Structure 1
Amino acid sequence: MMIRVGLPAVVLLALGSTVAAVTPPMGTTRSDVLTVAPLGKRQNDLTITVPGTRSLLSGFAGGQISRTLTTVQVSDTRGGGDWVATVSATNFTTGGGTLAETIPSSDIFYWSGPATATTGPGTFTPGQLHAAAAQSLNVSRTAFTHTDAGAAGNNTASWNPTIVVHVPVTALPGTYTGTVNHSVA
């Protein structure tokens, strides 16, 4: 994530995401600032596709910046089974990463919102249905879950999460970077 702070302490964020795919028997994790485009899916895969770099607009030190990301999607072609998508974040830092040059991950909040689309059998449950349920990303949080409850079949779920950053009053001017990580298992 990128944050640019200028006088009078204006903050601009650009969000970088991590893609994690769990495919039996091995897993793959990718992280970069490019938009991720999957090359295709094999049978028996559980994959997650996440937004690439995302600007979170401008704000002021001591203020709050909120922005909806683009679509996150889990695709499960294993023919059944439960899955849990999780999310966490690193601290956002600039310069030397001193205390005044850091927005801690405890000041970065996430709420998944409802599913924007689902396919297949089972129950799809958001981790945080609305803004009042937003959780800080200082630890791994549940973003979305699927329970098949015996209703085996391929499935997908999509949602448009919102990131909320509480910018510390003491934030110094600069460009802050960090990463929001999504994974599924």
Structure 2
Amino acid sequence: MRIRYSVAAGVAIVVAAAGVADAAPGDTTVTFSVSGGSLGISVPAGPVGLGSALPGGSVGGQLGSVTVTDARALLTASWTASVVSGSFTTGGSTAAETVPASAVSYWSGTGSVTGTGTFTPGQATSGQAQTLDTTRTAYTLSGGTGNNTATWNPTLAIAIPAGAVNGVYTGTVTHSVA
């Protein structure tokens, strides 16, 4: 190694000539976040017409697509979609102008799904139909990971009481998810 001294105006400067040293590695910490969305359900806007029948008969048909969207990006995702119906009424809503929710049957059928986990229809076939006078399970997800969706087209069957009067009956079928 060679050292040179230079003195100028009373200040000494030392310059050392050596080989180029290796630079130490530099680490940079990088972060990002994955944002979770929400859990929601969309249902047909309606009104959905199921046709007509005589007293003592029945009407039925599909409601249209019901979709659960789970965008929460969870490590362990699960949810239950539920359904319930109110009574269907016409005119002044007297007993003869009311079809009770106990006369409304529902089955979800199978649907299309995206994501991972076990998707289970509440009632896969018409033989498993349930009345909607109490809240019923329409579809579930268990053991899922990340985002997922399920879409099904449920069927209603309504038994019209023998004493029902002529009229257009209106009621509400409510789907929810939690």
What's the TM-score bracket when you normalise by the shorter of the two chains?
0.7 to 0.9
* Corresponding position: 1:144 with 2:131: no
Corresponding pairs, count: 141
Letter in 2 for 1:168: P
* Residues in 2 aligned to 1:184 and 1:171: alpha-carbon distance in whole angstroms: 33
Name the larger-Rg structure.
2
> How big is each residue's C-alpha offset from its partner over 1:73-125, in whole Å with a ceiling of 9 and x where there is no partner?
0000111321000000010011111111100000001000011x111010000
> Does the residue aligned with 1:132 lie in a helix, a strand or coil?
helix
Which of 102, 107, 122 lines up with 1:106 in the alignment?
102
* Corresponding position: 1:170 with 2:163: yes
Pairing 1:1-185 to 2, within 5 Å after superposition: 43-53=36-46, 54-80=48-74, 81-115=77-111, 117-148=112-143, 151-185=144-178
> How big is each residue's C-alpha offset from its partner over 1:42-93, in whole Å with a ceiling of 9 and x where there is no partner?
9421010101111111111101111012111000011132100000001001
* Residues in 2 aligned to 1:59 and 1:66: alpha-carbon distance in whole angstroms: 10
Q: TM-score, normalised by structure 1?
A: 0.74
> Does the residue aligned with 1:138 lie in a helix, a strand or coil?
coil
Letter in 1 for 2:129: A
Tell which has more relative contact order, 1 or 2 (C-alpha 8 A, sep 6+).
1
Q: Relative to total residues, which structure has the larger strand share, 1 or 2?
A: 1
- Dislocated runs of 4+, deviation >6 Å: none
* Residues in 2 aligned to 1:125 and 1:147: alpha-carbon distance in whole angstroms: 8
Q: What is the percentage of aligned positions where both structures have the same residue?
A: 48
Q: TM-score, normalised by structure 2?
A: 0.77
Q: Give the CA RMSD over aligned residues.
A: 1.2
Letter in 2 for 1:177: T
Flag structure 2 segments of 5+ consecutive residues without an equivalent.
1-34
